[in-house]
Structure 1
């Protein structure tokens, strides 16, 4: 019997206040869905509480729902609201 091997590591990039809250400009993830990734980020980086919900989270450049499967994703960008513009 074969086991599921569709898990793929994606790069999560953080910008501005999100980068400051996490302490890194990028991390890798093997989360199965965007919702799972968000839960993990909040558990591992408490400074994201209150911020992550206001962030635009793009998977390979597109906004998607939390149930979106990340198996084929390569880049996830976490973009907090920016002042101005």
Structure 2
């Protein structure tokens, strides 16, 4: 099962820093985590969602060993 890692505001919205998921595509995963974690739904569209460190399309298949990172926008300076 793919592992999803949440950072910063995404971690706060979900209440944990990572979880294992059973979805088989990135789009399915996005919809499922937004439905299960309502606080995440508001920020997820603005997050960078990376699979194996790369941005990919929602129809990308997820393997059991994939790591999906959910990174909210960061301010810096």
CA–CA separation in structure 2 for the residues paired with 1:73 and 1:52: 22
CA–CA separation in structure 1 for the residues paired with 2:56 and 2:47: 13
The answer for unaligned runs of 5 or more in structure 1 is: 1-8
CA–CA separation in structure 1 for the residues paired with 2:7 and 2:30: 15
RMSD, matched Cα: 1.1
The structure that is helix-richer by fraction is 2
Aligned residues: 77
Corresponding residue number in structure 1 for 2:12: 20
CA–CA separation in structure 2 for the residues paired with 1:72 and 1:62: 17
Q: TM-score, normalised by structure 2?
A: 0.94
- Which protein is bigger by CA-based radius of gyration? 1
CA–CA separation in structure 2 for the residues paired with 1:40 and 1:20: 17
CA–CA separation in structure 1 for the residues paired with 2:60 and 2:8: 25
How many Å apart are 1:71 and its aligned residue?
2.4
Q: TM-score, normalised by structure 1?
A: 0.85
Moved over 2 A (4+): none
